[in-house]
Structure 1
Amino acid sequence: MSPDVRIARWTGTAYLALALFGVVGFLVIRPRLHSEEDPAATSINLVEQAWLGHLGIAFELLIVIAQAAAALGLYALFRAERPVAAYAVAAFGMTNAVTILGSAAFLILASQVAADPGLAPGNDAAAAVALGFSAADAFWAVGSVFFGLWLMPMGWFMVSTRRMPPVLGWILMAGGIGYVLNALLSAAAPGLPAPLLDMLTIPATIGEFWTIGYLLIRGIRAPRAD
């Protein structure tokens, strides 16, 4: 096995972990705790299911670790042939990680206030807990800009070097644009239907899971002769 293939498979493992941790932490655990319609229910959930709240924070931090590892792995794969793409992927990926760290910090704050209501301003623990979760969600919302941006240089590397399928590269670039548009439209026109906005990220979902599978199974193609 060549060094590039070994790096590719480790990178694919980190990328897969990033996807799995994100699904469990953001799509499974958080909705069981956070009720947007009833702030008091969120605070009660954190008290009655404190273990689930702590588990959610742990998964948030696991997302950060996996994101950073995937960004470094892609940098190592790209830097020899496309140093600008390598730097862009690493920079945008690390920004993703910092964004999720901000989300984790607010989840920790919400958990602490739920456990000790006296920490809340005006002793309104329910409002403070709800605000903590809303701030965490806001970090994810603005972070989707960089979720999209890091896909673009990744796709450009594939198209320009053909070390991974070029069609995959085009899908990733389209998905990156879709993610950025999703973030911008969500902020500028919050009344737009959610299904319409979600459609913009479909190419990204397809491209990322294809990338994960390719890295794990094939790795990366050998460089082409000049």
Structure 2
Amino acid sequence: MKSPKRLARIAGLLYLLVGIFGGFAEGFVYPKLYVAGNAAATAANVTANPGLARLGVVSDLLDQTFFVLLALTLYVLLKQVNKNVARAMVVFVLLAVAITCLNAVFEFEGLRVATGAVDTSSLGTSGTNALILVLLDVQHYGIFVAQIFFGLWLAPLGYLAYKSGWFPKPLGITLMVAAGVYLVDLFVAFLLPGLSTEIHGFLGIVPAIAEISMVLFLVIFGVRIPKPAKQDERALALA
């Protein structure tokens, strides 16, 4: 009875680390470096903050490492509910991790160009600035591509949470809804970029509620295991 709770709390701590490192990289570092469509400003930001850029890359890599460990821990915890669905959850996470780690390489290469580690003198200042912007642009939109799988992994997680009986059913439902919201946010960003800037913040509300609630439940409660019936207790005692 204690093992599932222990596994769930480990998963909760890993999920918390994913949020901390991912939030630092995407919520703090990237907005200070990347200015959409402005090569000179982006290059100046990266050149002036090389240490911050390096921290962003390392944070991303740590974030994705903990994300893989989180998926494996949840797989061990929830595979008894439905092994195929649990496997799908892990596959979605691995795809998201692969894309995000590749994105970090583009950001790091942008830093190398900005700091002169790569000789781009033949391009001139404007050409070098443009190259830095392109590299960070690829990283920026690569995050949106990874969001497909950041969203999709919540669907099997929500289903397993709902079916297991170990979590509040509204939490499982909210996780599955959040998966759909992530996908809507992604496609709006590519198809209707003007609208995306207006509604992106609102679309982030449901996923934030779902994932923060899941983290808190895992860390505080672990899982909610129903007490066995008295007959079951007697049978176990006799056995």
TM-score by length of 2: 0.88
* Structure 2: gaps of 5 or more residues: 230-239
For residues 169-180 of structure 1, the aligned pairs below 5 Å read 169-180=172-183
Q: Alignment partner for residue 188 of structure 1, among 182, 188, 191?
A: 191
CA-to-partner distance for each residue in 1:174-200, whole Å, 9 max, x for gaps? 111111111122212222142324323
Where does residue 122 of structure 1 map in the other structure? Answer: 123
Amino acid at match of 2:15: Y
Q: Determine the C-alpha separation between the residues in 1 that align with 2:151 and 2:48.
A: 37
Where does residue 68 of structure 2 map in the other structure? Answer: 68
For residues 55-94 of structure 1, the aligned pairs below 5 Å read 55-94=55-94
Q: Is the 8 A contact 1:182 1:198 kept in 2?
A: no
Amino acid at match of 1:104: A
Where does residue 9 of structure 1 map in the other structure? Answer: 9
Q: 1:165 to 1:216 in 2, by over 3 A?
A: same
Alignment partner of 1:191: what SS? Answer: helix
Moved more, 166-175 or 153-162: 153-162
Q: 1:121 to 1:86 in 2, by over 3 A?
A: farther
Q: Is the 8 A contact 1:63 1:100 kept in 2?
A: no
Q: Is the 8 A contact 1:113 1:125 kept in 2?
A: yes
Within the alignment, does 1:168 sit opposite 2:171 as a pair? yes
Q: Determine the C-alpha separation between the residues in 1 that align with 2:86 and 2:121.
A: 44
* Structure 1: gaps of 5 or more residues: none
CA-to-partner distance for each residue in 1:142-168, whole Å, 9 max, x for gaps? 111111101111111122221111000
Alignment partner of 2:80: what SS? Answer: coil
Within the alignment, does 1:112 sit opposite 2:112 as a pair? yes
* Identity across matched positions, percent: 27
Where does residue 232 of structure 2 map in the other structure? Answer: none
Q: Alignment partner for residue 152 of structure 1, among 150, 155, 161?
A: 155
Equivalenced residues, count: 226
Q: Determine the C-alpha separation between the residues in 1 that align with 2:226 and 2:134.
A: 50
TM-score by length of 1: 0.92
